[in-house]
Amino acid sequence: MGGFAFQRKSTHIFDMTANSKAFPKRPFSLRQKEARTAWLLLVPSLVVILGVTLWPVIYTFVLSFFYAPTGIHQVRTFVGLTNYLNMLKDQTFWQTIGRTLYFTLGSVGLELILGLAIAQLIHSRPPGWKFLRVSLIIPWAIPTIVIGAMWRWIYSGDFGALNGLLMQLGLIKHYIPWLTLPNAAMPLVILADVWHMMPFVALILQAALATLPAELDEAAVVDGANAWQVFWKIRFPLLQPAILVALIARTVDAFRVFDIVYIITNGGPAFKTMTITYLTYLNSFSYGKQGTGAALSFLISLFTMIMAFVYIRILYRPEENQ
Amino acid sequence: MPYRKSYRKLFLFLLTIPVLLFIFLPILWLFSASLSTQVELFTVPPHWIPQHPTFQNYLDIFFPSLAASAVPRTFTVSLYNSFKIASFVTVICIVIGSLAAYALVRIPFKFNNTIKVGILAIRMIPEVSLILPLFIIASRLEMINKPIVLILAYMSFALPYAIWMMAAFFQTVPIELEEAARLDGCTRLGILFRIVMPISGPGLVSTAMFVFLVAWDEFFYALIFTSTLASKTVPVAIAEFVGRYAVNITGMMAGGILAALPPVILALIFQRYIVSGMTAGAVKG
Amino acid sequence: MRHLNKITLLAVAVILVLSIVGCQPKQTGPVTIHILTQDQAGMKPAEIDQIARDFEAQNPDIKVVMEYLSYDAIHDKITTGMAANPPAYDASMVDVIWPDEFIKAGYLLDVTSRVTPEMKAGIFPSAWNGVTRDGKIYGMPWLMDTKYFMYNKDILQQAGFSAAPKTWEELIDQAKVIKQQGLVEFPIIWSWPQLEGAVCDFTILLYGNGGTFLDASGKPAFNNEKGVQVLTWMKQTIDDGLSNPSSIASDEMAVEASFLAGQSAYAVNWLFQYSDSNKADVSQIVGKVAFAPMPVFAAGAAAGIQGSSVDGSSSFAIMATTPYPDQTWKFLTYLTSNAVQTKFSAEMLPIWQTDFQGDSLTQLLAAAPSNPITVPAFLAQFPFANERPTVSYYNEASKALQLALQEALTGVKTPQQALDEAAAKWVELAGQ
């Protein structure tokens, strides 16, 4: 889950000029007073946030240079970059990164395509469009773990609905244990995730569509454009900011997926659905190798930060205009 | 041309059907299976609608003393835990987050922009990066298995999120109103409480709902930080049920439906605010 | 400074709220102890709850809270639970493969001084071996279990077999006939998921082929030709349609479910499968299940292997940092006492060797209708229960082996390749 603000330039919170217009000329003492008020208002939040994020991130960074097996009386040995080097040399690590990217691209890609299609559908106001829009909320609101459990049961090789359906349609002769097939497992997990998060994309894009002036469409139709051209040449470019926001929000979240993998396949079969967060969990809490876990955590944060940085740069460049 | 228009309508309507099926069929199956007995669930080919439906699975959860397995007994406790934690997180985030959000959007001061960027960046930090040190610190401070640890841990993503959302909503309050209040001698805080917050009421509701849903949904921290009956949350309880190929699969399904109800009902009640929350501060000019 | 007051008020309110939520009242009155155990093998949760209630009736100052989890979830729960202070659990069930890891981490309390000579003499030595390291005892034995070979008498009879197979090769022959006659689709169901259960089954087959986990110098030997033969055989049975393909996703509960629904003719499992097979509400094959000695491979028999199974015993250990070791020990000794264990011997056989001798044996046989069958089976099979390696890195090492087994069984890698990689990981872990 995640919602991000996407903006038209003039109302964005990064735009300082809008704020200062309200209080154009202020004497220095007033500005000082204002600043003090601002800090007072911010302090509780900042204390909490920095306390639970900045401090742990630094702690993780430091811990990653130690060999730290869990135990009552933990003995930490400084090992320098060994944890990182071991990880980069480990085939499992790279395979896991690959699988995480597979999941991310598959999941986000499908969500975008489906989300866009459904947003368009709603926008064209078919009968019952309100019901459709409200229904979309349901998969999104259901807790991820419940969704994982539900799909795990659907895929079950003993009583699952998928097997039942395929058998009744005559497509299979006996039940197949889907989640044990190494190549089927990840697509099935992706399907579950798409079911869960596609509504988020669809609703954002639909809201964005709703703000597009109707005259544009009409003008295009008058000019003789068919539906496909209307979409591609007119709507799509205007939707780009919204698509970008949804895309980045989903990508950042999909990369660090854990819950749904944990519940549907536990990383199996044969680690085929192992994602990078799951690997970190295993190292930190199952194998008890906190140093390795810390190194992995730090690498993931680094990667996410880079993505975040790219996001901020792309989205909030002052020249970004449409 | 009405003729063509109705064809178009029909075509579009037909398109909505697969989408609705895609959304509802899995849920309906889960619900129908939760009403059936274990034996019936395993029949091949399946009974899509149970021939001998029963509410026993739900009764087991609500009247745990009668339940055969330990699974349903723990469920109501976890519902309570989830509710408690999500509520606290929501209240705290709204209270201190709204202060911060207001300061960030309306008070120009030196580090304003830096803090904004910082909060956005922090929102991006993955849970997995924080979980190990939080775990170690929490165990040293003897906070494991107590609700406070989850509440604080959830702050790490809920608070930046709440601040960001509320900032966007506050942004939409016309600055002229604040100007006018200022001229009337109102202090900053007065403006916040008397003008900005009432006007962005829907925004606050939206934020509160999102934070509640996010806290209810969270699994990773809950898994690690709460192990005992007394403190575990709903997602952890569900994960534990599913992990066993236990005797009571239909019971677990009933649990799943029940676990999904609070957030779904909440989201449906406040559905007007969902889309605005998702697109916080966006499309309005 | 009006607004400053408001802010301070707010801050105070927040702090108050947090402290209310964070505070826990001190334990006054009866002491409450938390015990973690599995809900699979051994007594059923309802029965253990009854034992706890009986104990509380006799000890009004101690309250017992039991928590049940699936076996595969317990290991990680112990490690995360121990991070809390006081620990989340005062005692926990400890599988036979965990003591080394937990002792190294300092989680288990040394109870050598609490064990009385009667206990020492009365309980099977191999049970004590499971909890003793360097002469110190770290837990109270609870369950001595091994995997048994069980089969559906009916199906074998229908196929024309009067006796169970003695070798795995014979099993294959029987299974082929059963499949041909259409009695069941997949005659054999195993527990070969990417979980510890697969390593258990692999242990049985490996030693039944004359192989071992580690060689004399402690290096992995499971990837030698004996191990590869076993794994290749395993895969072959799936490819031939004799082993249920869902075996690679089935834990022991799923194996039981399939077997008791009459969908398999043979199922290797812990003792609980037998006791459940005679319960009408979960079993469709009441009265049709029989034991037979675990088969071995023809090559193993030729090398003198008479039997092979795997030790799946477990104990209860007190967590080192518990504030209530005495009360916990009291409960554990009650839980594992002779009287209690005999009473519930239908679910699990006692750890007291005294029960298997003389008059006690007669009593034990009479204690439950299934005992005349399970007791001889236990006495026949348990002596051949092989141990999995008792190394402190077993948890991670086993995961590597589980992965290898899965990869080979799903065809991702060849058995040799998969086992070699697992062996390399074991060597790496041993070196750390």
Q: What total number of domains does chain A contain?
A: 1
Q: How many degrees, rounded to 5, is the angle at CA C351 between CA C345 and CA C354?
A: 95
Closest alpha carbon within chain C to B238: C69
Query: What is the pTM (predicted TM-score) of this model?
Result: 0.83
Q: Is A128 left (phi over 0), alpha (psi -120 to 50) or beta?
A: left
In terms of Cα–Cα distance, which of A316, A23, A17 is closest to B112?
A17
**DSSP string covering A83-118:** HHHHHHH-HHHHHHHHHHHHHHHHHHHHHHHHHHHH
Please tell me the distance from the alpha carbon of residue A147 to that of residue C269, in angstroms, as a whole number: 32
Q: What is the mean pLDDT of residues B43-68?
A: 77
Q: What pLDDT digit, counting tens, does each position of A144-177 carry?
A: 999 999 999 899 887 889 999 999 898 888 788 8
Q: Where are the domains of chain B?
A: 2-58, 69-278
* CB within 8 Å: B219 and A262: yes
Q: Which residues of C touch B145 (CB under 8 A)?
A: 84, 88
Q: What is the mean pLDDT of residues B17-31?
A: 94
Give residue A5's pLDDT: 40
Encoded tokens for A263: 């519940």
What's the pLDDT band for A11 if we cut at 50, 70, 90?
Answer: very low
Please tell me the distance from the alpha carbon of residue C153 to that of residue C170, in angstroms, as a whole number: 16
Q: Which residues of C touch B96 (CB under 8 A)?
A: 10, 14
* CATH number, domain with residue A196: 1.10.3720.10
Please tell me the distance from the alpha carbon of residue B154 to that of residue C424, in angstroms, as a whole number: 40
In terms of Cα–Cα distance, which of A20, A11, A23 is closest to B179?
A23
Q: Are A67 and A82 in contact (CB under 8 A)?
A: yes
Segments forming the whole domain that contains residue A189: 82-315
* CB within 8 Å: A268 and C412: no
Q: What pLDDT digit, counting tens, does each position of C360-391 carry?
A: 888 888 888 889 999 999 999 999 999 999 88
Q: Domain for residue A17, yes or no?
A: no
| Amino acid, single-letter form, for residue B110 | K
Look at the block and give the residue holding tokens 């899509």.
Answer: B48
Give residue A312's pLDDT: 67
Say yes or no to pLDDT of A320 above 50: no
CB-based contact (8 Å) between A213 and chain B? Answer: no
Look at the block and give the residue holding tokens 């993503």.
Answer: B157
Closest alpha carbon within chain B to C255: B245
* CB within 8 Å: B219 and A258: yes
Q: Domain for residue A151, yes or no?
A: yes
* CB within 8 Å: B147 and C261: no
Give residue B246's pLDDT: 53
Domains located in chain C, CATH noted: 31-145+312-386 (3.40.190.10), 148-310+393-431 (3.40.190.10)
CB-based contact (8 Å) between B244 and chain C? Answer: yes
Q: What is the mean pLDDT of residues C299-328?
A: 92
Closest alpha carbon within chain C to B221: C80
Q: Domain for residue A266, yes or no?
A: yes
Say yes or no to pLDDT of B186 above 90: no
Give residue A199's pLDDT: 94
B96: closest CA of chain A, how far (Å): 6
Q: What is the DSSP letter of C295?
A: P
Q: What is the mean pLDDT of residues A8-27?
A: 45
CB-based contact (8 Å) between A94 and chain C? Answer: no
Give residue B3's pLDDT: 60
Encoded tokens for B6: 């109705």
Give residue C317's pLDDT: 95
Give residue A108's pLDDT: 94
A169-178, B140-149, B219-228, C172-181, range with greatest mean pLDDT: C172-181
**Interface mutation vs chain C, best among B197, B227, B228, most C CBs within 10 Å:** B227
Q: What pLDDT digit, counting tens, does each position of B6-16 carry?
A: 788 888 888 89
For the domain bounded by B69-278, which CATH number is listed?
1.10.3720.10
Give residue A207's pLDDT: 87
Q: What is the mean pLDDT of residues A198-204?
A: 92
* CB within 8 Å: B243 and C72: yes
What's the pLDDT band for B72 if we cut at 50, 70, 90?
Answer: low
State how far the alpha carbon of C21 is from the alpha carbons of B84, B88, B89, B152, C28, in Å: 10, 9, 11, 11, 19
Closest alpha carbon within chain C to A45: C11
Work out the mean pLDDT of chain A and round it to a whole number: 82
* CB within 8 Å: C80 and A179: no
Give residue B280's pLDDT: 62
Q: Which residues of C touch B146 (CB under 8 A)?
A: 22, 24
- Lowest mean pLDDT segment, chosen from A38-42, B195-199, C293-297, C389-393: B195-199
What are the residues facing C137 on neighbouring strands? C132
Give residue A21's pLDDT: 45
Closest alpha carbon within chain C to B84: C21
Give residue A35's pLDDT: 80
Burial of A60 (0-12, 13-18, 19+ CB in 10 A): buried
Please tell me the distance from the alpha carbon of residue B251 to that of residue B258, in angstroms, as a whole number: 11
In terms of Cα–Cα distance, which of C333, C310, C313 is closest to C132?
C313
Q: Are A55 and B138 in contact (CB under 8 A)?
A: no
Residue B33, classed as helix, strand or coil, is helix
Q: Domain for residue A164, yes or no?
A: yes
Q: Domain for residue A7, yes or no?
A: no
Encoded tokens for A146: 């419940």
Give residue A139's pLDDT: 95
Q: Which residues of C333-344 are buried (b: 16+ CB within 10 A; e: fewer)?
A: bbbbbbebbbbb
Q: Domain for residue A9, yes or no?
A: no
Work out the mean pLDDT of chain B and round it to a whole number: 82
Give residue A104's pLDDT: 94
Q: Residues B157, B162, B165, B167: is their CA dihedral positive or negative? A: negative
Please tell me the distance from the alpha carbon of residue C314 to that of residue C145, in angstroms, as a whole number: 8
Q: Residues C385, C386, C390, C395: is their CA dihedral positive or negative? A: negative
Nearest to C253 among B88, B188, B245 (CB): B245
CB-based contact (8 Å) between B267 and chain C? Answer: no
Q: Domain for residue A39, yes or no?
A: no
Say yes or no to pLDDT of A10 above 60: no
Q: Are B49 and B41 in contact (CB under 8 A)?
A: no
